[in-house]
Structure 1
Amino acid sequence: MKQALIIGASGGIGTAISEALAERGVAVTGLSRRDDGLDVTDEGSVEAALGRLEGPFDLVFVATGALELEGRGPEKSLKHLEAEAMQAQFMLNCVGPSLVMKHAVRLLPKEGRSVFAALSARVGSIGDNGFGGWYSYRTAKAALNQMIHTGAIEIGRSHKQAICVALHPGTVETPLTEKYAKGHPTVTAQEAAVNLLRVIDGLTIEDTGQFYDWAGKRVQW
């Protein structure tokens, strides 16, 4: 791996991924709302930010996302469901990475291995949902998983060695999870970065369009 593009590079996982790659000698380009004004929910912002880049990037890693938006946490019941909150979840957790995928295709090498990876969450798995609740976040991540799976098919036609995956990082010690991590084993952002990069390193073209956890195990849709 020679060049990597990290979207959401100022967040906990994005920062850790960037630092881990830099330690390997990878040339890292990082973009974020905080440092670059990138708004992944605004296509004009995404197009402008990625349009200034040349690449090619062996890795495009989308580390954006949020469990709680504007003080609204995951719903415990249907009675707590609100259209505005649900739309906000979809915009950040599905539409944002989808727009990055759209505009990042030209930055992937036409020849040779490359990886497009976006952070998803195990709670976005329909088959693994035995507890209910968290309606907006779950459905937004499930929609993201479908985008990754579908986008992988099209990208594979023009980029024969491109691998597109959704990744579950585990429960990471970041501001996103601190209020909801009770009872769950957690890892630091640095540990998560090591785990995720290990998974990315081991991916083959047969893995494109799939959903993997931090240990490299496939997560059911």
Structure 2
Amino acid sequence: MKNKVLVVGASGGIGAALVDQYRSMGNDVIAVSRAPASDFEQTESVTYYQISTQDDKHIGEFVQQLAQQGVVISAVVITTGFLHNEENAIHPEKRLEDINEAALSAYFGTNSITPALWLKHLVNIVSKEGSTLVCLSARVGSISDNGLGGWYGYRASKAALNMFVKTASVEYKRRVKNTMLVCYHPGTVDTGLSKPFQKNVAAKKLFTPEFTAKQLITHLSQLDREQVCHFIDWNGEVVTW
């Protein structure tokens, strides 16, 4: 029986690369996206699902649907993330006066709440034989590593995500043996999320989604599973909480 891998955010650059990488490794992939499933090619090993509204109700119904099908998940990567939105004039804050209630709601909704809801429901269908759950985080979400300030909403929402994952790892360990949770900083990846901020990034530090997917999967295979929660970067180095 092939391993079942769930990729949330499969229409994004990193998500799409992860789907391809896991598929090429012989896994069956369940790919979730806000985009219509008809936009993607359904194959024998990759099945796309659309969840246009990733709230508690819709995520819960989707996971329950998988449970009724007898699906057991061995690996999950939640790639959802939000940094800016030109249409709604949401940009990382440079000073306190830039803090905006609507922007904060957007940051926390996508970066913190949505992954937490996935963790809430997935505990019921992950493999008890050994499963790994990953949330894409960011180094700027490290409280101890914050020496520059700014980016209030993004920093705080990623810090909240880290706490959700760390706290969930305690309960997962109790309820699902041999489970490991990971917060992963992918570095600056050449996707729409980082596009406005790439000009100050050295060429060798601007990663392709394909490189990012391979790095993530490689580092996951090397982590100490006795430690139930990790926060690491694209190079496999520990990021301080």
Verify same fold: TM over 0.5: yes
Residue 47 (structure 1) aligns with: 60
Residue 87 (structure 1) aligns with: 105
Which residue among 19, 33, 51 is the counterpart of 1:37?
A: 51
1:22 partner SS:
helix
Segments ≥4 residues shifted beyond 3 Å = none
> Which stretches in structure 2 are left out of the alignment for 5+ residues?
37-49
In structure 2, give the amino acid aligned to 1:77.
R
Whole-Å Cα distance in 2 between the matches of residues 164 and 46 of structure 1? 19
Residue 165 (structure 2) aligns with: 148
What aligned pairs does 1:108-119 form with structure 2 within 5 A after superposition? 108-110=126-128, 112-119=129-136
Q: TM-score, normalization: structure 1?
A: 0.95
Contact (CA 8 Å) 1:117, 1:164: kept in 2 or not? yes
Deviation, 1:208, is 2.1
Which residue among 152, 173, 182 is the counterpart of 2:199?
A: 182
Q: Does 1:162 align with 2:163?
A: no
Whole-Å Cα distance in 2 between the matches of residues 150 and 138 of structure 1? 18
Contact (CA 8 Å) 2:51, 2:59: kept in 1 or not? no
Residue 67 (structure 1) aligns with: 83
Whole-Å Cα distance in 2 between the matches of residues 155 and 39 of structure 1? 26
Whole-Å Cα distance in 2 between the matches of residues 154 and 205 of structure 1? 15
Whole-Å Cα distance in 2 between the matches of residues 7 and 71 of structure 1? 26
Deviation, 1:207, is 3.2
Aligned length: 219
Residue 148 (structure 2) aligns with: 131
Q: TM-score, normalization: structure 2?
A: 0.88
Contact (CA 8 Å) 1:150, 1:209: kept in 2 or not? no
2:89 partner SS:
coil
In structure 1, give the amino acid aligned to 2:73.
F
Which residue among 217, 222, 229 is the counterpart of 1:202?
A: 222
Bigger Rg, which one: 2
Deviation, 1:203, is 2.2
Deviations 1:147-176 (CA, angstroms, capped at 9, x unpaired)? 000000000012120001110111000000
Residue 189 (structure 2) aligns with: 172
Whole-Å Cα distance in 2 between the matches of residues 172 and 91 of structure 1? 22
Whole-Å Cα distance in 1 between the matches of residues 214 and 74 of structure 2? 17
Residue 121 (structure 1) aligns with: 138
Residue 215 (structure 1) aligns with: 235
In structure 2, give the amino acid aligned to 1:76.
K
Q: Residues 147 and 153 from structure 1, CA distance in 2 versus in 1: closer, same or farther, beyond 3 angstroms? A: same
